[in-house]
Every structure is written in structure tokens, then in C-alpha cells.
Structure 1
Amino acid sequence: MSAKGHEVIFYSKKDSCYNLNGSIQIIKIRGYKRTKSVYGDILKDFVFTLKSLFKLSSCDILVQNTFWAPILSPLVGWKYKKTVYNVARMPKGQFHFYKAVNQFSCVSNAVKEALEKEIGSNPKIVIVCNPLNLKYFKYSRKRIDSDSVIITYHGRIHKEKGLDLLCCAAQNLSQDNKIHLILIGPYETGKGGSGIEYVNILKRLCPDVEISFPGGISDPQALNEELSKCDIYCYPSIADQGETFGVSPLEAMGAGRPVIVSGLACFTDFIEDGKNGLVFNHHADNAVEQLTEQIKKLIDNPKLRYELGEAAYRRAQEFSVESITEQYIRNFEILLADNHG
């Protein structure tokens, strides 16, 4: 937004890391490490939010994302004109207390529907999806020289990601194909994974498959390089309440890869089954068989892989940083023009 001439100020913890344009001001505030207690974290969030509001400069729009901000911000109501709460996670009952918020900006239709179940249908609720930085995620046909079918996933190596389904499907396909499964992401529990034992379980599920765990890749350009090497990308998450948008498969689409995802509602914002990706029902009793069939469909049909990859790439362009920025600005302008909002 700063590129559009708007003043942008971030209030963040001192240990937060940002690589932002120099025109964006960052006000760093001493934060606190998370505890093992939800109530302890909520108490610490209360203190952090108060400190942030105390340092808040006068502004037109106050964008909030902490637990206490919507409740405490009226205490400094003279410092802003309107408030927007960024709903990036599934609601857990707290939004009944956020009466003073002027707009709820949800990252997907799935989050919007969950919020409406909690507070009812409300004109305050809008959707602005997460962006894809097309500076890094670019179309590429850089496939590595291999006689294997390369299937890639990236994200946390966690049970809720449905990777056991993918490993079982890969094992089914290994009878007729040489499969190389690449699971990019951290498996350590301290980094959000399910631990080394889960990695060993996945290996045992596909003994005839070449399987690699290269770890997490934080550099987006390096990640695009890895995604560009695969024949098929698969994100089989079963986290109905955990996935809010699904930026990982969108990144693979930005690299022009044919994508297979589970039937989570969050993926419907950018994936249409059979048009720019493939979907399987992760709730079905035969979920493994369905996933196996979808992967087989792409293995057996190189033309379909190419066409879905092309369509995926075109769809990903609609989520550019510039496009999402315009949506935010348009929503802010409408909000400021509404004297009753």
C-alpha cells in the first residue's frame, strides 16, 4: 500500500522479522514468548495489546489481529476512524465480543462461512484472500532429469496434512510406476511437525517408493525452484478446522504445476476440480483409492498435466500482491465513506 502513496505503520514484537519496503514504518514493541497455557497467552496478549494501543499514532484505518485489540481499542477511539479485523484463522467463539469492529476481513470463503455461523450474516464481513508474490513464484518447466514420477508436497510434516493418504496412494502406484515422493517441510515438533516417529511411519507406508524429506525451505525463490521440478503437486490436508486459505497449493499453481488437493472448503477460492486442478474427498471411506486414481490420471496423461498446469498458472495470477492490495484499498475507501459503518 505504501507504493500507492499510503502511509503504513506496523506495530510488532521486537523479535519479529520483516523484509519490508523502506517506506513502511515499523514500531517494535517488547513481546512475550508463548506459554503452555492458553490463559497465560491471553493474559500476555492483553499486556502487549495495551502497550501497542498506547503507542498507536493517529490513523484512518486500524487493522487488528490480536485477541484483545477489538475489545480494548475503543479506549483510544480518538486515534482512528475505522477498525478492520483480519480474520486469518477459524473463529473459536471470541467474535461475539467484537461488537466495535467496523469490518471483518476474511482470508477465504471458508473462514467467512465459519464466522457467519458464529455471529450471523453481517454486511461487515468481506473476503480478501491472501496474496501470492509473483516476483518469486513463476511458471517454469525446469524438470530434473529422472525416470521417476516426481510428486511434491510442501508444508508442515504433520498428521493433519493427510500425508499418510499420499504415502499409501504412492505405494499403490509404485506397482506400475517408479515414484519419487518429495515432502518439503519441518517434521520437528518444535517447528509444528509431528516428530521423527511420524516420518518413520510415512516411510513404512510406502516401502517401494523413493521418499525424501529435504526439510523446510524458507526462501521463496528456492521453493519455486523445487516446486518447478515436480510432475505433480499434492496437498492432501485433512485439517477441516486448521486450513483457512491454503497458500501452499497456490504457490505450486504459481509455478505452473498440476495440483491435487483434498476437498477442504478453503481450496474452492482458487481451485475448480477438472479445470485448474483435481480434488479428492478426504472424508470418504475410500479416500486413498480416490487420491490414487487422481494421481494415476495425471501420470497416464501428460497432456492433461500440461493443461492443468497452464490453467493453474493463469488462476494464480489473479492473486498477485497488486491485485489483493487493490481489494484492501477499495474496501478501506468504502468503509471510510460510510458514516454509519
Structure 2
Amino acid sequence: MPPLRGGAVEKVWFALGQEFARRGHEVTHYSRLCDGLPETEIIGGVRHVRVPGADTPSSLVRLKWRDLLYTRRVAKKLTRVAVVVTNTFWAPLVFSPRRHGPIWVHVQRYPKGQMLFYRRAARLQTVSRVIADAITRQAPSLAARVSVIPNPLPPLVAPATSVGRDPNLVLFVGRLHPEKGIELLLQAAVLARQTAPALRFCIVGPSETRFGGGGAGFRRRLDALAVPLGTAVEFTGPVFDEARLAAHYAHASVFAYPSLAARGEASPVAPLEALARGCPVVTSDLACFDDTIGTGPFAHRFDHTAPDAAARLAAVLVRVTTDRQAWASASVAAEARAHEFSIRRIAREYLAGFATLPS
């Protein structure tokens, strides 16, 4: 914190913390010491305490070990508070409700059985109903502690450059990882351009494993799939600057998010940010999109499990970009939908939830 390396969870909680502080609450963020940031500072009324950590390794075993060491360092610094909100694997096991305060587990990924071990947690809160249902199935004895509060729309910043809308530009923003469906998007791009040759594609995000990407080998696979597209596709690499990212959203006509992570995604923030910029979204048919994106002229889905998934995605992209009259009304509706998830509204839901925890 602040989210200099991107990340939906980091971005959301950086904003929520400042909203809690604006409402008169004392807020402290514990995060990794890196990128030349000081060990402690105040940002937007929020106290930041940074603890030494490490980049994300490619090995899951090493990741969990490093995360355990980091969590134990945080536990030594953490004093008793009214509520401890955590998104890390080990914290519900390492932190003590008696010593540190009620533990609020914030779940942003599909659970993999670990919820059974989080019996000391006062609340298991997630951001979509599909994840809440999964938690309840895996830990039925904790069902009464499960709640759903959606991800908020992070505060919008002005685009870094003043650019007009490109009616032929399809945008993806996210980690370049196999679960995000980028290979499928590139295959669909080749097919879509057979019908709509003016279409162009912009892929924004990191492929490096330390940022959660699929690594160098996966990036080579993407480059190979992109060869038939030539200059019609651009890989920008990671864009963590919010103003530059805003310019990408404002320039695109359609936002594509063909995630394949049926047991991964909870409620991605990037599609919500696209809607806020008036950019209709095309997603795979995952249940995680039900709560936030919902239904409307701005939301388009395709069956990502079908044998001809790439062709189906291509057909949706062509239809959405070519019907400009429908696009115009969808753009207005998209902005209205996104603002239903304002920071102020979601912060109120969290504060109401915190008030129900044991003291």
C-alpha cells in the first residue's frame, strides 16, 4: 500500500481505508515494505505500517512459506484493535482474537478447503454469492458467519491523456495468466477480424510471475497466437498508474474479460472500472459476474465452455462494436451501473458489519 503494483484487493482496501478514516475511524494498513516506501506514514488519514516481505515466487510451496513468515512478522507488530481485516492465507491461523481483536476474513478467491481451519474468525466475508456458497459447502458449521459485500468501484481519476473513443478498440486489463482466457481472446480476435477487419486489440497487464502473471513461457505462447494479428494487437505490459489506466478505459469501445477461472475469480474489479468509463463489457459465463456486472445492455456473455468458444466470443465482439446506436445507450447504462457500487455505499455496508462483531 499504496497499490503501486496494481492489484484489485490492494486498490479496493486502499480506498476503503481512506473512506473509513473520513468517517472518523482510526485505520491502520499493514502491508509489504518495498518500492522505496517508508516503514510508516500517513496517507489520506490512514496510518501505514510496512513489514519486510518478498516477491511472489513461482513455487506454491515457497509462496506459502514466505507468506507464513510475513504473517508472523505482522502479528508481532499488530496491537489489539476493534477489527482485523485480512486477505492472507495464514493470518486467520496466526492472529489471535484475544490478543489482536475479532478477525474478519476477506475472501477474494474461490476457497480451496482452508475455510475449515478458520474457526477463530468472527466473519468470513466475500464479494459474490458464488464464493459465499462455496465457503458454506466447504465449512457448513461456519455458515452463520458468512456474508457478502461486493467490491466497490475505486475512485476515478482523470485520464492521463485526452483521447477520443475508438469504436474498433477491444481492451483487456488484468494479469496475463492462463486462467484469464487471454489465449481464447487472441483466437477470437483472429476470427473477429475476418468479419470486422478494422478491429484492434489492446492487452494491458503483467506476465511476470512476481506480479501474478503466467511467466515468460506463457508470454511466448501469447506472442505466437498474436502473430496472425500483426499490428492489430498491442501488449502494453503492466500499467499501474491510475491516470494512464483510465486513458485505456476511456479510449476503448469494448472491454473483454473472458476469464476461465471458475474456481478462481470472486468478483473482478477491472470490468467494474470499465463500466464506470462507459465501456460495455464482454465476459465469460462465470457466476462471479452475476452480482456486480449483472444484466443489462452493457453486459454481454458467451459460453466459454463450448467447443467453439472462440467463435462465440468473436461473434459477440463484432456485434457489440458494429451496432453503434445500441453501443451508445449501453455506454450510458454502463456508467450508471458502476456507480451503484460507490466507495461510500460499500463502506457503509462494511461498517455495519463491523458493528455486529464481538468486542
Q: Please indicate, yes or no, whether the TM-score normalized by the shorter chain is above 0.5.
A: yes
Residue of structure 2 equivalent to 1:263: 285
Instruction: Give the paired residue count.
Output: 331
Distance 1:206 1:34 in 2: 32
**Structure 2 unmatched runs, 5+:** 1-19
Distance 1:294 1:137 in 2: 29
Residue of structure 2 equivalent to 1:107: 127
| Change in 2 beyond 3 A, CA 1:231/1:43 | closer
Distance 1:65 1:159 in 2: 23
Q: Which of 1, 8, 22 is 1:3 aligned to?
A: 22
Residue of structure 2 equivalent to 1:59: 81
Correspondence 1:193-272 to 2 at 5 A: 193-195=214-216, 196-206=219-229, 210-272=232-294
Q: Which of 309, 330, 333 is 1:311 aligned to?
A: 333
What does the per-residue CA deviation read over 1:97-154, in whole Å, with 9 as the maximum and x for residues that have no partner?
111111011122232122122112712111122222233278x99525x6x7111111
- Deviation at 1:221? 1.8
- Deviation at 1:318? 1.6
- Find out whether 1:159 has 2:155 as its counterpart: no
Two-structure CA RMSD over aligned residues (Å): 2.7
Correspondence 1:8-87 to 2 at 5 A: 8-15=27-34, 21-34=43-56, 37-74=59-96, 77-80=98-101, 82-87=102-107
Q: Is the 8 A contact 2:150 2:292 kept in 1?
A: no
- Say which is worse superposed, 112-121 or 318-327, in terms of deviation: 112-121
SS in 2 for 1:244: coil
| Change in 2 beyond 3 A, CA 1:183/1:64 | closer
Distance 1:33 1:189 in 2: 9
SS in 2 for 1:13: strand
Q: Which of 324, 338, 345 is 1:323 aligned to?
A: 345
Q: Which of 127, 130, 133 is 2:151 aligned to?
A: 130
SS in 2 for 1:151: strand
- Deviation at 1:281? 0.8
**Amino acid across the alignment from 1:108:** S
- Deviation at 1:20? 6.5
Q: Greater CA radius of gyration, 1 or 2? A: 1
Distance 1:62 1:322 in 2: 20
Q: Is the 8 A contact 1:137 1:254 kept in 2?
A: no
- Say which is worse superposed, 4-13 or 254-263, in terms of deviation: 4-13
Q: Is the 8 A contact 1:137 1:251 kept in 2?
A: no
Distance 2:314 2:90 in 1: 45
Distance 1:49 1:214 in 2: 33
| Change in 2 beyond 3 A, CA 1:261/1:69 | same
What does the per-residue CA deviation read over 1:196-224, in whole Å, with 9 as the maximum and x for residues that have no partner?
412322213545x7111122211112111
